[in-house]
Amino acid sequence: MSAGIDVYSLDALRARGVRLASAQGANAIAVAEHAMGLTLALSRMIHTARDNQARKHWRGMISDPLAREDELAGKTMLIVGLGGIGGRLARFARAFDMRVVGLKRDTSARVENVDALVGPADLDRALGEADVVALTCPLTPETEGLINAARLKAMKPTAHLINCARGKVVDEDALIAALQAGSIAAAGLDVTREEPLPEASPLWSMENVLITPHTGGETAAYERRVVDLLVDNIGRLSRGEPLVNGIV
């Protein structure tokens, strides 16, 4: 029971006549909140404050304005993946007075809480204009490695990358290099290429990285929403109706 389907062999399921539906949408609220939480935490340096707390360190005033915590109001968030999660994240970002840009194949469609839509051909330009790049897309052949070295280089050096999609959407080696070089300012990662993240990964010890262990959708409400969806689909299957989120 998950939103992602990349772990299943769809051809094998079809060959055996097995029906498959995803739990897409069941964790939309939770993951969108998590993505917004990572965005806020990096902007306000909450993770640094927590580290200071562990050391019982009360930091003084920062004289350099550019080194201080930042505000989200007036900033631009680029959302890659405007499904249930991305759509709700757009709503949250707008509530913080952010400008929201969404990546979508059909740029003629109207999407609520999105100020502008860009197509895949304009992704590099949109990356260069974004203060926060939030990944909420599924892992597909088209999105695997989507955020590569060239696209990380296209981002602002002050930009933050939020990944609540799948780890393989990002070239992790290129991300580490970009963070170490200061090509981008920070990353909030709920997913990584390999999970659990290996102990040897440089990401663990980077001060400009905030890691959560793929827990974005892990809330008390998740199972209830999945069960409701499952019961609905069992009824649909018995009546010969199309499944909600039907895949096979």
The CATH number that applies at residue 71 is 3.40.50.720
Q: Do 186 and 126 lie in a common domain? A: yes
pTM above 0.75, yes or no: yes
How many secondary structure helices (H) and strands (E) does the chain include? 8, 7
Task: Confirm whether 166 is a catalytic residue.
Answer: yes
Length of the chain equals 248
Q: Do 133 and 113 lie in a common domain? A: yes
Per-residue pLDDT reduced to its tens digit, 121-131: 999 999 999 99
Residue of 44, 91, 214, 236 marked catalytic: 214
Q: Do 159 and 177 lie in a common domain? A: yes
Q: What range defines the domain where residue 167 resides?
A: 28-54+67-218
Residue of 88, 166, 172, 225 marked catalytic: 166
Residue of 71, 142, 144, 195 marked catalytic: 195
Q: Do 72 and 151 lie in a common domain? A: yes
Task: Confirm whether 223 is a catalytic residue.
Answer: no
In a domain, 190, yes or no: yes
Residue 213 in tokens: 């262990």
User: Which are the contacts of 53, defined by CB distance < 8 A and separation ≥ 6?
Assistant: none
In a domain, 164, yes or no: yes
Per-residue pLDDT reduced to its tens digit, 135-192: 999 999 999 999 999 999 999 999 999 999 999 999 999 999 999 999 999 999 999 9
Task: Confirm whether 112 is a catalytic residue.
Answer: no
